[in-house]
Structure 1
Amino acid sequence: MSPEIAQVVDSAANGENITKDIPSDFLVKNDTETPLLEEKVDAPKPCPAKQENKSLFDPSVLPQSSDPHEILAQVEFYFSDSNLPNDKFLWSLTQENDGWVPIATIASFKRMRRFQPVDAISEALRQSLNLLEVNQDGTKVRRKTPLVKQAGSAAFDRSIYVKGFGEETTTMQIDLEIFFKELGPVNQIRMRRDDDKKFKGSIFVEFGDIETAKKVLAMEDKPKWNDCELVFMSKNVLKCLRELTI
């Protein structure tokens, strides 16, 4: 048990209120104003109405490009061990046709539309050293080694929770990636959203290794976002806090 989690457990054992340490976007309130974890509320839920998509992310505001390094980095992320198992659409495509995915389909993704022409995408993907391969006529791409989904905690352990980003902007996803890559290798950043896809002001960052995650959490002078303080927490501590309040 890590020192952080041990401290939380001791606080709970001593009767202290640990819900104050749980990020507010994980809490809802019942009729008696007692905090409850939103994932654990058992009240009957009404039939869901059609949700309005309030995501502001709009990569179309970025300039058109044929940069092979940008293209390769983006597509290798799509097919990476971190992203592919969680991307239902792309995963389903890789389970057919011996893993081959049409490059035209990849080019239609929102973050890929600015890369023109499509031939530039094919040429860029041919430069992949270890992850991807392109078919002879340059129309399809697949992983060189098929990915097998595995249950495990490696990604969980190298991930952290960060809160305090305020309102979303059209390029925030990309801005966050640039921001956190200054701290070390990053596999992916997931912006947390509500049912309407509105940004909650918090994210999960999966670093390339556990050591980087630990280093960031241990920093005394943690980075600020637009001069605003951020809350950093390991996913292990967050999970422990949530479980102890049930």
Structure 2
Amino acid sequence: MSEQEVLQGLQTIYQPDNLKKNAFFRELLEQDPERWISLKKISVIKQMKPLVNGDLELLIRAIESSNDEFEVNEQKTKVRTVKALDLSEEKPQETKDGVPVPTAAQVERFGDHLSAVNKKSIYAKGFPENPEPSRKELTGLFAPFGRVMHIKYRRDDAKKFKGSVFIEFESEEVAQKVVTQNPSFKGKELLVMLKCEYIEMKAKEKYADQTFEHSDIVSSATAYLEYEGAGDMRVEAIKDLIKEKLGVTVVHVYRKKEKEKRGNGVVQLNGIYVEDFLAKLSDDNKLEELTFKAADDESRGECMDDKSKLIKALKSRRGGRSKHNHQPRKKQKTSE
């Protein structure tokens, strides 16, 4: 990348519109009264990471070529903009009938997220409808190509299996490889295509030029990620680390119970997609001692089950205390 491209990236993330909607970047700025941010942190922000590609010297040269729009400190470890910044937050989310109304930025990001998922997923047809293949069989069929993240059976209105599935993989490259290999199931060749191409084909067949709005965009931004390397870190310490360093809210932390998986687990995050969270990390997906990767169906299920058990336990405890607290207290006799 050129110095000019890097400079344009800097100018973009410092734009007022981005500052209002990008809580993570705004929090980084607010950490220093003089609005300095370390070059290393700037270089791994989603918009800057592919431009800088770890070359901090390139970043410094871009800053120095900005005609005093940006400046570096004497040690050449931090950057700030010379102009005054408005760090006020975006207006509260509008609602309609109690449902948050997505902003234009949220609609665009949701579309980008769906596109990313569909590009690393396949549509596969030709499975027997009865008995339908088990998840274990499907995983065994596709795992040799790459890590299977999610399996979705396609069913009709009566919940009957339609003989086809959507399979999400960890990367676009794996999905593309599956399509070229013509996989078969129990001796029968399958019809396989990228999910993005299947959806585009069906949209043209059924809906022509109609457009659609998503009503669940705000609530759908949830991410599950597996982590390792936590050692004896407590749940609250993991939550605090992610919140303080990345500005991301952790809904739940599940720690795996097996002895051989000590220090491993799954986190559920709110208000962010998996790919956006990973973009905040270093190139090896590390945050201090923790290493993250997208969670598959099994890990997501373990996290959700653990969360449900915790909620039930808390309700049970509160119910017990509530019952006890509502019992009338006996009056104590006092001696005259």
Report if TM-score (shorter chain) is over 0.5. no
Computing the radius of gyration over CA atoms, which structure comes out larger, 1 or 2? 2
Normalised by the size of structure 1, how large is the TM-score? 0.36
- TM normalised by structure 2 equals 0.27
